[in-house]
A = this chain, B = another copy of it.
Amino acid sequence: MNGNNIVGATYVTTEGEPFFAANPATGINLDGDFKKASAANVNNALALAETAFETYKNIGGVLKAKFLRTIAEEIAALGETLVNRGAAESGLPIGRLQGEVGRTVGQLNLFAKLVEEGSWVNAVIDKAMPDRQPLPRVDIRRMLIPIGPVVIFGASNFPLAFSVAGGDTASALAAGCPVIIKAHPAHLGTSALVAGAILTAIEKTGVPKGVFSMLYDNGYEIGEQLVKHPTTKAVAFTGSYLGGMALVKMAQERKQPVPVFAEMGSINPIVFLPEAINQKAEELANKYAASITLGAGQFCTNPGLLLAIESPALIRFKETIAQAISAIPSSTMLTAGIHKNYDQLSGEISKIEETKWIAQSNQINDTLQNQSVAKVAEVSAEHFLANPKLHEEIFGPYSLLVIAKDIAQLTAVVAVLDGQLTVTVMSENKEIANYPALINKLTEKTGRLILNGVPTGVEVCAAMQHGGPFPATTDSRFTSVGSTAIYRFVRPIAWQDWEDSLLPDELKESNPLGIFRLIDQTYTKD
């Protein structure tokens, strides 16, 4: 396990005391010693990124695709070594890590396909009209170009799919931007293994070494230096509201402000319409008991808020969810800090006299550390409306059932919610058509609307939107999952009356890449 910092795809030694990765279930340190990066590492990483960008931005979709696919292959080739290390560091089960390898590989291949095909640059051509009256029209051609070095913070809750070679890295590299990773201290070894795969891919494909650096820090200093560095052109982060907003503030106070794409949390309301509860109380209760506790509830799309109208069937729903939750074994949380927060925040719910626990697991594994116990609380809509504290996310296997008197009160509850990544509606026999005002209000609050599903799966595809109104994310116009995540790291540029031979291939008259282009208002591959 090489725990050295990586600057321009090269391991560098650094002074200072090492720190270690630990297994959150046992507290035992794992193999490998990791060193905090230095200010010189930060400067060198960004200087090399800047130089590499000059080449990498023009390297072409075919080579970029080869690079991304080779990273995917090298990650897959790590096999059990990676899966076992990921599981040991995160407390997540092996099966989840296997799934995450699949998703990570799939994401890299998705972006490879996107850039190889090439139409993603949104080429638009308005041809000259020399005879137009009263003035001739010039020839204008626009496409998206990469913005430059991107700083990416690994997320604790997806040690692979949202970390070193996750969706942020895949989309930035696909766009043509070098990346500098701030490794998450909760999965140092997993980060080192994946970084090794990227280094091999760089060597095999010959892309400039400066396109990849990875720095370690068990504190905040290196992250701050990276965000404030003038060469950094954008930042991607998935984590807490406080962490995200601290980065936003730093980025805005720079001489040249840069965007921070921060995904900061969401309680992902689930609305159970009356007929759905009436017909399927038990099925829904079981479905949601599983969704709430998946991965110890440590998903950004975890359903933290269940909204329903009081009814006899809802009592059956509550009884069933109580039973289902009681049988769910405790789970190891990602870190001691996350576990402590979960215990503290869910403990504060206990102190609010208007709430009561309706479901709680009694399967606690006393032999392991950092165990989270699944819990569902209940509160009336009236009290929920009166207490903003209840609107906040509790990261972990927790959900709050809010019981409204009627659909108007339920709609009033939705109206006070913050922005969300997802909202879900459970509807039976098309009853959803009867509630346009509710659906309208839900639409305003979210980036994704789900019918009769659970929010905890996020399909990686072109149509996905994983980003909602503030504070779910800092910029609801972009997504961090799916192929359009690439649009976070580009800007448009227009060439006027430019020499055809000097235009990027994407804009040349002959369309040598054969991509879709919007020419004089029509999409065409001509």
Contact check, A494 vs B465: say whether CB atoms are below 8 A apart: yes
Q: Which residue of B lies closest to A498 (CB)?
A: B451
A138 within 8 A of partner (CB) = yes
Among A468-494, those with CB < 8 Å from B are 469-471, 474, 476-477, 479, 484, 490-494
Q: Chain B residues with Cβ under 8 A from A496's Cβ?
A: 448-451, 453, 459
Q: Is A76 an interface residue (CB 8 A)?
A: no
Known: A433-B502, A470-B257. A126 touches B493 (CB 8 A): no
Chain B residues positioned under 8 Å from A510 (CB to CB): none
Q: Are B142 and A521 in contact (CB under 8 A)?
A: no
**Are B499 and A449 within 8 A (Cβ)?**
no
CB-nearest residue of chain B relative to A128? B459
Identity of the chain B residue whose Cβ is nearest the Cβ of A522 in the assembled complex = B516
One of B142, B256, B459, B476 near A464 (C-beta < 8 A) = B142
Q: Return chain B residues, CB-CB under 8 Å to A462.
A: 124, 126, 518, 521
Q: With A140-B463, A141-B463, A464-B140 in contact, is A443–B125 under 8 Å at CB?
A: no
Asked if residues A443 and B138 are in contact (CB atoms below 8 Å), the reply is no
- Chain A interface residue number, banded: 35 or more
Q: How far is the CA of A521 from the CA of B515 in the complex (A)?
A: 12
Asked whether, in the complex, the Cβ of A501 is within 8 Å of the Cβ of B463, the reply is no
Chain B residues whose CB sits within 8 angstroms of the CB of A518 once the complex forms: 462
Q: Give the nearest-CB partner of A114 in chain B.
A: B521
* Contacting residue for A470 out of B54, B256, B433, B461, CB 8 A: B256
Tell me if A351 counts as interface (CB < 8 A to partner B): no
A145-B443 in contact given A476-B491, A498-B451 (Cβ < 8 Å)? yes
A440 within 8 A of B: yes
Query: Given the complex, which residues of B lie within 8 Å of A459, measured CB to CB?
Result: 126, 137-138, 140, 496
Count of identical protomers in the assembly? 2
Chain B residues closer than 8 Å to A474, beta-carbon distance: 257
- Interchain CB contact under 8 A, B451 and A492: no
- Find chain B residues with CB under 8 A from A135 CB: 457
**Residue A357 at the chain B interface, CB threshold 8 Å:** no
User: Given contacts A433-B502, A497-B450, A499-B433, are A142 and B256 in contact (CB under 8 A)?
Assistant: no
Q: Does A29 have its Cβ within 8 Å of any Cβ on chain B? A: no
- The answer to whether the Cβ of A171 comes within 8 Å of any Cβ in the partner chain is no
Contact B453 A138 (CB under 8 A): yes
Using a CB–CB distance below 8 Å, which chain A residues touch chain B? 54, 117, 124-126, 135, 137-138, 140-142, 145, 252, 256-257, 419, 427, 430, 432-433, 439-440, 443, 446-453, 457, 459, 461-465, 467, 469-471, 474, 476-477, 479, 484, 490-499, 501-502, 516, 518, 521, 523
Would you mind naming 30 contact pairs between A and B with Cβ atoms under 8 Å apart? A54-B440, A117-B521, A124-B484, A126-B461, A126-B462, A137-B459, A137-B461, A138-B457, A142-B464, A145-B443, A256-B419, A256-B471, A257-B474, A432-B499, A432-B502, A443-B493, A447-B493, A447-B494, A448-B494, A449-B493, A452-B497, A453-B496, A453-B497, A462-B518, A462-B521, A463-B494, A465-B492, A465-B493, A467-B492, A477-B492
